[in-house]
Each structure stands twice: as structure tokens, then as C-alpha cells.
Amino acid sequence: MSFSQVVLIPLIYPVYKREVMNNMYRPVPFFFAKLITSCLSFLAYPFTVSLTAIWFIGMPEVTFVEYWWFVLPLFLTAAIGLVTGLSIGAFFAHADLALNINTYVLMMF
């Protein structure tokens, strides 16, 4: 999850810089919009992975509570990846450098 988020800001940085210099919008709404769209993709990922995993594993009957206990670790790891990727991507202007730093940070953990 962090590798998909880390390149989000560095790839659109030239467009962002041009539009901010032309006073099209301010930085805070831009980053807030990126956070909202990233959170929407964050919500779809754990559901998709858990439903396909349950189907491939062939679990006989999964109740609602058991499903949420199965999905909770996926949500937590996806949230950590989302926050890590967005924060590292916001620090670096080049996508390759952000990917390398993200790899080193994940190796430490």
C-alpha cells in the first residue's frame, strides 16, 4: 500500500507547482483532496483482498464478526502503508528517490 501512495505526490509535483504559481488553488485544499482520494482507495483495498482470500481459501461459513476479525489486520496494515507512503512522498520531489527511501524505511521495520 505504501508503494502505491509514495509516488502520488512526486509524479504530480510539476503540475502542482505550475498551478500554485498561477494561483489556481492553495496547497491545503490540494493535499486535503489527495488525502481524501487516497483514503477512498485505501477502503477498497482491504475489502477486495479479504473477499478474494476468503473465496480462494474456501472458508465454509464466515459470520459478520469473524469477517471483521479477518479484515481488521488488513485495515491496520493498509492504514500504516497509506500514512507512510503519503508522508514520504510529500518530502521528496522525485518519484525514484521517494521509492528508494520508502524501501529503506520498510526494511527498517
Separation of alpha carbons 96 and 109, rounded Å: 20
pLDDT of residue 49: 85
pLDDT of residue 7: 86
- Domain span holding position 43: 2-108
pLDDT by residue for the chain (109 residues), tens only, comes to 788 888 888 888 888 888 888 888 888 888 888 888 888 878 788 888 888 888 788 777 778 888 888 889 888 888 888 888 888 988 888 889 999 999 998 888 8
Radius of gyration of the chain (CA): 17
Beta-carbon-side half-sphere exposure of residue 52 (alpha carbons within 13 Å): 7
Phi (first) and psi of residue 73, to 5 degrees: -65, -35
**CA torsion through residues 38, 39, 42, 43, sign:** negative
pLDDT of residue 104: 92
pLDDT of residue 101: 92
Separation of alpha carbons 18 and 62, rounded Å: 51
pLDDT of residue 16: 83
Domain count, the chain: 1
